[in-house]
Amino acid sequence: MLALHVGAAALVSIPLVTFDGAKATKYDFKVLNDPVMGGQSHGSWALDSQAGYGVLDGEVVDVPKLKAPGFVTAVANGDFADSSSAADGGLTLMVRSNTSSYAGFRVSLYSGLTGIAGSYACAGGGSIPFSRGCFKGKFQVPPGDSFSPVTIPFANFTDLWSSATGEPTSTCVKDPSACLTASKLSKLKRVELWAEGVDGVIHLEVESISATAAAPAIKGGAGVELVEFDGSQVWDHTDDPVMGGKSKSSFSQAGGVGTFEGTCAIVPSLKAPGFCKVATSGGTFPDVSSFLNGSIHLTVRSSTPTFNGFRVAVDAKGLKCPGVIFSPFTTSWKSNFTVPPGDTFSVVKVPFPAFSCDWSSYTGDCSTKDPGVLGRQHYCCSDKHPEKCPSTEALSAISGVEVWAEGAEGDFHLELKSISAGPL
């Protein structure tokens, strides 16, 4: 187990899979193409051992007899690290993709506690007898050229899912027997990366897979509300004004819900997506430094959950981001987030270690790797660059909250009920 120090915080990180040649986390992945009823999906797995990542390439197409999308999956079997100490956290994948708009990426973990063969359990998803124990979760890859961390809370995994679509037939919330518990995480025997249930070309690069959880918060307790959408706070919205930007948005509040919607469009002179954002900075915000090891909680829903450009930021007026030569009067720590599909509001937790004050004004992204001679580096929060992470000082002096649609072209619709800080 590693302790990834993030400012004054410590993020418990248990590496499960890496592609850097380390013996303890080296596993042989094999591709399985949809074999059911004449499935025509196809894929390949390649390892770039020098660069230190694996690559899943392929295309998911309809199964002719089912008239529904098939799947491609990369599978590794073995004895993976005991991850029970991270049961209250999630699975973190360091990934990037040039098909980040693809909405069918999933990952599954098989627990050997059941004694059933992993290949059988991960083919059935509980839909056939004795096929429990393979827990699947969905994820979206942020757009950008850099590897980004994507964390799927273990509470979002379930071993009850459709073998035809990969979609849950029941969730951990509805059925506790479907939860990926500490005991089940103690005996992981199989890891699978999926492209499933959605037609399209896929390209996924994976640098590492880890179980992660923040250490206990300094004071613990329930979350602290930062923003409510009851009209008590004034929100301003900004559409990309740079170099002829054409992004457009609107923001309204009604019935305790803020609605942020519009279109993030290409800036013609940059040939890259612009941004829209809403921000509130009126009044005072509570001290949430006790949740330095925790996360931002967003209660949200969206009719465009596949939009890849949602981000959230917290501002701290008067503080500087170390190493950033040009910094506005207000420094902000920003992170991307994705919204689960569905008609009901969901709580999305964005860990504070996923935020960075050093992000590109063109894309909103940061990176974990040094670009060498390629240009200005925007560093993510990490053990190598803890100065980019949210600090106790920053979280005790929040002066504003921002929600962005940025770095991804397309229409977006986001409804927000609340934004708070709380445990991971």
Claim to verify: residue 71 and residue 185 sit in the same structural domain: yes
Q: In this structure, is residue 315 part of a structural domain? A: yes
Domain count, the chain: 2
> Across 202-206, 236-240, 374-378, which has the greatest mean pLDDT?
202-206
What confidence category does residue 8 fall into, taking pLDDT thresholds of 50, 70 and 90?
very low
177-201 tens-digit pLDDT = 999 999 999 999 999 999 999 999 9
Question: Does pLDDT of 144 surpass 90?
Answer: no
Q: In this structure, is residue 13 part of a structural domain? A: yes
Q: In this structure, is residue 86 part of a structural domain? A: yes
Structural domain ending residue among the three candidates 159, 181, 214: 214
Q: In this structure, is residue 185 part of a structural domain? A: yes
What confidence category does residue 214 fall into, taking pLDDT thresholds of 50, 70 and 90?
low
What confidence category does residue 300 fall into, taking pLDDT thresholds of 50, 70 and 90?
very high
CA angle 417, 273, 378 (to 5 degrees): 85
pLDDT value of residue 11: 53
Among candidate residues 215, 229, 214, the one with its CA nearest the CA of residue 420: 229
Domain that holds residue 27: 2-214
CATH label of the domain that carries residue 394: 2.60.120
Claim to verify: residue 210 and residue 228 sit in the same structural domain: no
Claim to verify: residue 87 and residue 234 sit in the same structural domain: no
Average pLDDT in the chain: 87
Q: What is the pTM of this model?
A: 0.56
Strands 330-336 and 310-317: antiparallel
Claim to verify: residue 323 and residue 274 sit in the same structural domain: yes
Task: Give the dihedral sign, CA 170/179/207/333.
Answer: positive
Q: Give all strands (DSSP E) within 154-284, no chain letters.
A: 188-196, 200-214, 224-228, 236-239, 248-254, 257-264, 266-267, 272-273, 275-280
pLDDT value of residue 423: 87
Q: In this structure, is residue 293 part of a structural domain? A: yes
pLDDT value of residue 10: 42
